[in-house]
Amino acid sequence: MSVPAFAALLERLVFTPGRNAKLALLRDWFATQPDPDRGVGLAALTEELVFTAAKPSLIRDLVAARTDPVLLALSHDYVGDFAETVALIWPVRAGVNTPPPALSEVVEALELTPKPELPALIGGWLDTLDSSGRLALIKLITGGLRVGVSGRLARVALSEWSGKPVEEIEEVWHGVAPPYLALFRWLEGNADKPDPREAPVFRPLMLAHPLEDADVAALRPEEWRAEWKWDGIRVQLTAGPGGRRLWSRGGEDITNAFPEIAEAMEFHAVLDGELLVIRDGVVAPFAELQQRLNRKAVTPRMMRDFPAGVRLYDLLFEGGEDLRPLPFDARRARLEDWVARIAPARMDLSPQIAFGSVAQLAEIRDGARAASIEGLMLKRADSPYAAGRQKGLWWKWKRDPLSIDAVLMYAQRGHGKRSSFYSDYTFGLWRPDGEGGEELVPVGKAYSGYTDEELAWLDRWIRNHTTGRFGPVREVEKSLVLEVIFDAAQLSSRHKSGVALRFPRIARIRTDKPASEADRLDNLMSYVERRAPAEEDAAG
């Protein structure tokens, strides 16, 4: 009964917004499903298993042979999604009493069946399933599950279910393959931890805590090393005889999205660094890197317009030697030596910043206004490379946020605990409307930063000042000013205002300020910084 069971899981996951609830659903799946289906399901959810054998046209032909064209068109028009239309409209065939296929059976048959026989095979499966089973099967075999389960979330669920630390699971994850029999045997205590041997695996990253004002005073400068905190995405590079991989912070394999980096990884080592778009040694704003993210295919043009590079922070393995237990200073020396020797293309060292006192460091931090720098990283000179967020070893010290006074324009209800509150706010700034007057243009959306009391107040205000409703969105009277803080402002062609904010959140409700005195778009534009500091500046 495993395709129906998988379909039931998918259905719950699709509708479940909460992370904890998703984890509970996944734990239940691991606990109740038999091998090999639980592993096949896991691989399908995390998109480790992707099928291409069945094209959408195959499904279209199957359903066309079974339905009236007018009714199919009316139905498709109503439902919107074609796969779902097929799943719902598929006529029940009387007398079918074959049990639905197991997930593993589907996977195996798709690999072994000659192409001309696929339609009959898939049509036969669809006959045995109910509508949610049909939808799951169609989405599975045409490769579009999209249920919001990242590999990271799945590994956290495996950890919660088995009691094994998530870091250990991370380390073996990329060395095991669907249906993960060895992994499950280990997690259930029936076998040793799988040995990835030469396979390129992800090593959990060491993370930093935000530095609070109270912690600053306690810092002894001689014990700490400082670097810029670059605004890109944190990556791990793994290369050796077993292959080359570029991992995201959460352990997702993003190698294919950055082929030029993979090509440059002609070494045997594991490195920690920041992936950035770098032009002539100058780091571009995050928005440019974003053009390269979440894309299936990379065009030569993308690679030319947004050239990727890695600024190296740390060396975890050199050859087969695990450097992680060494103190930071020793690893840094090894890293500098390694970079000098290997001189890998598209990579450079993240420079260290010299400082004599905490006060001087604070000055340096406040002076860094480039959009490509988020602030400073502080690393204890004697810290080993420890997985996860260990307090007191690494600090991130972000620069003070920027701020604007914006006018609330639209509000939307949140999810989960906030589903009865208008908690997502679209805000705007004034600009000339071209007819001698002023108009508001939306510049961003924020859903954090406020206290519970402020949220309740805003919710009440919005309900009492609604001027229009568009489904879940309420338009409000343009009279409430919010102080919005954000980390950076960057030019963006995807926004009507032409500017995008990094991490905007609500700092204060300005009931004292009339809307007409809110900021103008020009004020925000003055914050936009397109260039990174020159290298000598960064090297400080």
Active site residues: 229
Question: CA geometry: angle at 301 spanning 297 and 303, to 5°?
Answer: 70
Pairing of strands 321-322, 352-353: unpaired
Residues 6+ apart with CB under 8 A from 214: none
Residue 294 falls in which region: left (phi positive, over 0), alpha (psi -120 to 50) or beta: left
Q: Least distance in Å: CB of 216 to other proteins?
A: 28
Pairing of strands 438-446, 481-486: unpaired
Q: Least distance in Å: CB of 71 to other proteins?
A: 5
- Taking the C-alpha atoms of residue 491 and residue 410, their distance in angstroms, rounded to an integer, is 22
| 163: helix, strand or coil | coil
Decide whether 365 or 502 has the Cβ nearer to other proteins.
502
The values of phi and psi at residue 23, to 5°, are -60, -40
Instruction: Compute how many other C-beta atoms are within 10 angstroms of the C-beta atom of residue 388.
Output: 12
Decide whether 193 or 398 has the Cβ nearer to other proteins.
398
Q: Judging by beta carbons within 10 Å of its beta carbon (0-12, 13-18, 19+), is residue 185 exposed, middle or buried?
A: middle
Q: Least distance in Å: CB of 64 to other proteins?
A: 14
Decide if 450 contacts 422 (C-beta within 8 A): no
The values of phi and psi at residue 445, to 5°, are -140, 135
Decide whether 225 or 474 has the Cβ nearer to other proteins.
474
Decide whether 4 or 344 has the Cβ nearer to other proteins.
4
| 136: helix, strand or coil | helix
- Taking the C-alpha atoms of residue 352 and residue 338, their distance in angstroms, rounded to an integer, is 16
Q: Return residues touching other proteins (CB under 8 A).
A: 8, 12, 14-17, 21, 24-25, 28, 67-68, 70-71, 74-75, 78-81, 84-85, 88-89, 91-92, 130-131, 286-287, 290, 409-410, 412-413, 415-417, 419-420, 424, 426-428, 441-445, 468, 470-473, 475, 490, 492, 494-497, 500-502, 504
Q: Least distance in Å: CB of 77 to other proteins?
A: 9
- Taking the C-alpha atoms of residue 44 and residue 190, their distance in angstroms, rounded to an integer, is 24
Residue written as token pair 């400080």 = 540
Q: Least distance in Å: CB of 415 to other proteins?
A: 7
Element (H, E) at 294: none
Decide whether 173 or 425 has the Cβ nearer to other proteins.
425
- Taking the C-alpha atoms of residue 239 and residue 456, their distance in angstroms, rounded to an integer, is 51
Instruction: Compute how many other C-beta atoms are within 10 angstroms of the C-beta atom of residue 443.
Output: 28
Q: Least distance in Å: CB of 80 to other proteins?
A: 6
Q: Least distance in Å: CB of 494 to other proteins?
A: 5
Decide whether 385 or 450 has the Cβ nearer to other proteins.
450
Q: Least distance in Å: CB of 148 to other proteins?
A: 12
Q: Which 8-state DSSP code applies to residue 371? A: T
- Taking the C-alpha atoms of residue 385 and residue 392, their distance in angstroms, rounded to an integer, is 13
Decide whether 66 or 508 has the Cβ nearer to other proteins.
66
Q: Judging by beta carbons within 10 Å of its beta carbon (0-12, 13-18, 19+), is residue 458 exposed, middle or buried?
A: buried
Closest CA to 530 of 506, 505, 499: 499
Instruction: Give the Å distances, CA to CA, from 2 to 37, 106, 156, 322.
Output: 7, 10, 23, 42
Tokens, residue 199? 């396979």
Q: Which residues pair with 209 in a beta bridge?
A: 395
Q: Least distance in Å: CB of 513 to other proteins?
A: 20
Alpha helices by DSSP H, listed for 324-403, are: 328-342, 358-367
Q: Least distance in Å: CB of 252 to other proteins?
A: 20
- Taking the C-alpha atoms of residue 133 and residue 10, their distance in angstroms, rounded to an integer, is 10
- β strands within 17-161, DSSP E: none
Residue type for position 126: L
- Taking the C-alpha atoms of residue 264 and residue 509, their distance in angstroms, rounded to an integer, is 50
| 94: helix, strand or coil | coil
Decide whether 190 or 420 has the Cβ nearer to other proteins.
420
